[in-house]
């Protein structure tokens, strides 16, 4: 069984070719990807096979987001991006995202933020957090000229 099939099975979702391809592509990425990028990648891999139906594609992304397989990242560019949710992330913890201003990549940072740090007091219940740090990523910093 592939990793994609394991992820689908863990979430009680039937494995289909499209669902597996979407997860496999996101797994290979180190960064969050836009729907356009994902569609383009699937179109390339599907040329020899049965093409991915556009409606099926959007339903797959919605299903994955509803079931916590992927999460949407709003990185301030106006284009929603998606990244694989980590299965081992602790309940009640959130994570940051980072967008590089040089290469425009957006990725999840590995360390979770304890829920207590996001306490806003009162009788509020935080359900979603979108925090994006912006700057220059490690890879781009290595390529900057020394000043």
Fold of 3-143: Arc Repressor Mutant, subunit A (1.10.10)
- 93 falls in which pLDDT band (50, 70, 90)? low
Lowest mean pLDDT among 12-21, 25-34, 42-51, 68-77: 42-51
**Mean pLDDT score of the chain:** 85
Least Cα distance to 61 among 97, 90, 32 occurs for: 32
Q: Which residues, in sequence order, are CB contacts of 3 under 8 Å at separation 6+?
A: 23, 24, 27
Residue extents of the structural domains in the chain: 3-143
pLDDT for the residue numbered 90:
47
d(CA 15, CA 20): 7
Q: Which residues, in sequence order, are CB contacts of 118 under 8 Å at separation 6+?
A: 94, 126, 129
pLDDT tens-place string over residues 45-69: 655 567 778 898 999 999 999 999 9
């Amino acid at each position: 069984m592939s990793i994609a099939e394991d992820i689908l099975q863990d979430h009680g979702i039937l494995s289909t070719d499209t669902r597996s391809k979407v997860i496999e592509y996101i797994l290979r990425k180190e960064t969050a990807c836009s729907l356009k990028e994902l569609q383009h990648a699937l179109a390339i891999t599907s040329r020899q096979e049965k093409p991915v139906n556009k409606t099926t594609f959007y339903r797959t992304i919605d299903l994955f987001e509803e079931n916590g397989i992927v999460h949407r990242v709003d990185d301030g560019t106006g284009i929603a991006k998606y990244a694989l949710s980590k299965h081992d992330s602790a309940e009640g913890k959130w994570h940051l995202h980072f967008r590089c201003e040089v290469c425009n990549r957006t990725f999840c940072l590995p360390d979770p933020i304890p829920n207590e740090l996001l306490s806003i007091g009162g009788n509020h219940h935080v359900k979603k957090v979108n925090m994006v740090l912006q700057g220059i990523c490690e890879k781009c910093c290595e390529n900057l000229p020394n000043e």
